[in-house]
Amino acid sequence: MIVPVPVRDPQADGLPMFSYGVLRLLGLTLTLLAASIVVFVVLEVLPGDPAQVMLGINAQPDTLEALRAELGLNAPALTRYLEWVTGMFRGDFGISYTYDVPVAELLAERAWVSLPLAVIALTLSTALAFPIGIMAARFRGRALDTGIMGLTQIGIAIPNFWFAILLVYVFAIVLRLVPSGGFPGWDAGFFTALQALILPAIALALPQAAILARVMRSALIDVMSEDYIRTARAKGLSARVTLWRHGVRNALIPVLTILGLQFSFLIAGTVIIENVFYLPGLGRLIFQAITQRDLMTVKSGVMVLVALVVAITFIVDLAYAAVDPRLRRGR
Amino acid sequence: MNTHKTLRAFTKLAIGTALAMGLAGATLSAAQTKTDVSLGIVLEPPHLDPTAGAAAAIDEVTYANVFEGLTRIGPNGEVLPALAKSWEISEDGLTYTFRLQDDVRFHDGTDFNAEDVKFSLDRARSADSTNAQKPLFEAIESVEVVAPDTVQVVLSRPVGGFLFNLGWGDAVIVAPESADSNKTQPVGTGPFAFDRWVKGQEISLKRFEDYWGEPAALEAAQFKIIADPNAAFAAMMSGDVDAFPNFPAPETLMQFETDPRFTVSVGSTEGETILAMNNANGPLANALVRQAISHAINKQALIEGAMFGRGTPIGSHFAPHHPAYTDLTGTYPFDPDKAKELLAEAGFADGFTATLKLPPPQYARRGGELIRSDLQKVGIELEIVPLEWAQWLTEVFREKNYDFTIVSHTEPMDIGIYARDDYYFNYDNPEFKELISALNAETDKEKRYDLMRQAQEMITADAVNVFLFQLGKTGVWNAELEGLWENAPIQANDITKVHWKN
């Protein structure tokens, strides 16, 4: 599921940081444009008529035709594509076929669940993974390391939906500490809303933390065998200071790559967890829209997710530069 | 129990203050007397206008609660007066005169009168109408306002079930001022008004204080959307929802049945579940082959295996709880040898291969596997093709590109679909069409029942489809809750009579 992406090496072009950023931005815009074409074409060839889905099996042909006209489904494909794309540039994401409200409104509502959930889960997984990974690397080969590696193996192997069901059973049914699911909305109070997100965040965070801890450990072990670490020790730095100042910092690049991928996953790929906890998140919105052939919501929703993922990639690229001073100086 | 307590004590210690605060809040609210109810529903309605969509979920929230029609359908499928307090039907069965309830207001405060009735019926049958059940209004020739409280509807031909038709969710009365915004802000005349809708999460209704009839006992109701069977189980068990009228996890019902906190209700629906056959395709065009297939399927095993025993065997396309039901379940008893004989007689001694296209519901997916293995034993090889609803509607229903499919026909009193030209079964029997037009024209109850019986017998004799079972409705709710429907003559969650004991 998580494939480590080779770290791009922008300094090969010898460009300063600013033009590097501009070039990346240009590439990202082209990515978005290509994605919009793919999304549109896929939905064009997808079998199923939105009008028939909405009106069911007793609908008469003239009724279907009336609805298709109302939804603007009869215009040529190119016209509809251009209207859609130019609309998005103006911030108009279209009207949902089934809900009959602006798609932007739907997405915004859902983002208020999905984004906080992703942030909480990512914070949790990072807070767990960093110390665990560093400890494992520090006590490499000893009992603690073996124990941690065993636990993370289990963490990766357990499917997160199953873990989620288990959490619901223990904390919602047996102990009744938290609701079994649902989301009351932030206007119900910060703590009430937070309470609804705790179990899903844990269910999402643990497998991610297991992966992240393993990446942290192996990256750190790699770094610690480098020559400059020996040099640092030789000039008199303690093992502890060497580990933190030179080890962890240099191990961050692969960890950042994985973090970026995990954040993208947490925003777009949590539909199963959203189902278990019946949370109104972005993943479920799009899943539901696909089965109901609410093509406008699918198209615009997928594009927003693509844009988010692209933005995260961009931020991760910038973070590389922040971690690696050589990139900052544009050498 | 003891381990629970220890575990509970331990975890309470381990959990932070934020959680403890939330817990305190929860116990506090549970101590007060409840005046609201939260119900679980599996599918979220696309919108809330029952006159502009086929999704059953729209009626599950709005029927009888928010919107009312001239008539309404009661818990056992009977036609009851609603916005029309009485009616007269002319001798020839063509003119219906409705006397309307007085002092009725819409939720936005506007008056209800005969003009609204005319508006609603004319809107539903107009040329640009997007009403999913437009055929219900097909026979209406004119709607006239006689007085503010009297409406006259003239039909072009007698329609036996017209009063029943007016009780459908698709025939509710809406106001011209609010009709266009009913999808997101439904305004009806019912005892509950729309409150708010958190998309993907829940829809809240609140009691309408100016209701013309008997006010609802509940002050408010929330319909929570819970699609996942595990989540439904957890929500019920933890008390997050008070009732799940159509419970989606039949495999867990035993646990609720043995728990005194819950009531489990098993009722019937209008859902005739059939193995539909393309009567115009290859071997299936031969009635002998269709009869052979009817003999080859073990329906009782199917009910046990695919539905956990919650379904009633049927022998035709007709609901067993209807007075005109005639028991034809013995027509094609499970008999693989007989099936092989019939196949040989039809010239398919070596069987044949065909496709079985399955829509998403569990009855179809689980039932499909069992049917495949039954038919394999008589030499018919089925290739299973799972489809989404949207694909099913296009490929199977509209294009009729299929051999077999499994689907539940949930519309009430829908045996008439077998008389439709070009319907997806491709059944074309002029005699049956005559029978149904005679039924439509007949208004005498006993004569109608007799025609209905003949209709059931005719499609069973022709073995148009394999009639598998009547879909059961299994609901789970808090044992303290009363007044929910046990049966589902239409797909509604009528909460107008729901109340807590004490």
Q: Which of B131, B162, B181 is the last residue of a domain?
A: B181
Residue B340 falls within a domain, yes or no?
yes
- In the predicted model, what is the mean pLDDT of residues A308-328? 80
Same domain, B312 and B390: yes
Q: How many domains does chain B have?
A: 3
The answer to whether residue A11 scores a pLDDT higher than 70 is no
Contact (Cβ atoms closer than 8 angstroms) between residue A103 and residue A301: yes
| pLDDT for the residue B199 | 85
pLDDT at A15 (0 to 100): 53
Asked if B11's CB is within 8 angstroms of A53's CB, the reply is: no
Choose among A63, A109, A181: nearest Cβ to B234: A181
Distance of CA A117 to the CA centre of its chain: 10
Residue after which a domain boundary falls, among B181, B213, B232: B181
What ipTM was estimated for this complex?
A: 0.76
Question: Residue A21: pLDDT above 80?
Answer: no
> Do B85 and B148 belong together in one domain?
yes
Residue B321 Cα to chain centre, angstroms: 15
For residue B407, the chain A residue with the least C-alpha distance is: A57
Q: Is residue B186 part of a domain?
A: no
B197 found inside a domain:
yes
Residue B305 sits in the same domain as residue B294:
yes
Chain B residues lying within 8 Å of A199, measured CB to CB: none
Q: In this structure, are B400 and B489 located in the same domain?
A: no
B32 in a structural domain: no
Give the Cα separation of A265 and A271 in Å (integer): 10
B275 and B396: one domain?
A: yes
Nearest-Å Rg of the Cα atoms of chain B is 25
Give residue B274's pLDDT.
Answer: 96
Q: Quote the crossing angle between the two packed helices A190-224 and A249-268, to the nearest 10°.
A: 140
Domain match, B427 and B336 both: yes
Please report which residue ranges of chain A form alpha helices under DSSP H. 17-45, 50-55, 61-71, 77-89, 103-138, 143-157, 160-167, 190-224, 227-234, 239-242, 249-268, 271-276, 282-291, 295-323, 325-328
- Is B437 found in the same domain as B310? yes
Domain at B164, CATH number: 3.90.76.10
Kindly report the CATH number assigned to the domain that includes residue B249.
3.40.190.10
Tell me if B279 is assigned to some domain. yes
* Domain residue limits at B76: 56-181
Q: Are both B248 and B285 inside the same structural domain?
A: no
Chain A residue closest in CA terms to B359 = A291
* pLDDT value at A248 more than 60: yes
Q: How far is A62 from B134, CA to CA, in rounded Å?
A: 10
The closest alpha carbon to B23, from B14, B15, B33, B32, belongs to: B15
Q: Which two tokens stand for residue B1?
A: 């129990």
Q: What is the mean pLDDT of residues A188-217?
A: 92
Q: What is the pLDDT of residue B264?
A: 94
Determine, yes or no, domain membership for B51. Answer: no
* Nearest neighbour of B44 by CB, restricted to A182, A281, A288: A288
Residue B254 lies in a domain: yes
CATH of the domain at B334: 3.10.105.10
pTM of this prediction?
Answer: 0.82
Mean pLDDT, chain A, integer: 86
pLDDT tens column, A22-66: 777 888 889 999 999 999 999 888 888 888 888 887 788 888 888
Answer yes or no: is B439 within a domain. Answer: yes
Structure tokens at A230: 């020996």
Q: How large is the average pLDDT for residues A143-164?
A: 90
Q: What is the pLDDT of residue B32?
A: 55
For chain B, residues with pLDDT lower than 50 are: 1-3, 5-31
Closest CA to B463 of B271, B280, B295, B282: B295
Q: Token pair 């290739």 is at which residue?
A: B383
pLDDT band at A330 (very low <50, low <70, confident <90, very high): low
Q: Which residue of A52, A192, A194 is in closest CB contact with B394?
A: A52
B344/B444 same-domain check: yes
Contact A63 B225 (CB under 8 A): no
Residue B140: count of CB within 10 angstroms of its CB: 19
Quick: pLDDT tens for A112-138.
999 999 999 999 999 999 999 998 988
Domain boundary (B181, B213, B239) is at B181
pLDDT, residue A16, reads 60
**Are A99 and B200 inside 8 Å of each other by CB?**
no
Q: Are residues B223 and B360 in the same domain?
A: no
Instruction: Indicate if B60 and B164 belong to the same structural domain.
Output: yes
The whole-angstrom separation of Cα A255 and Cα A217 is 10
Contacts of B7 in chain A (CB under 8 A): 170, 174-175
B200 and B158 within one domain: no
Render pLDDT for A256-302 as a digit per residue (tens, 0 to 9): 889 989 998 898 778 889 989 999 999 989 988 888 888 999 999 99
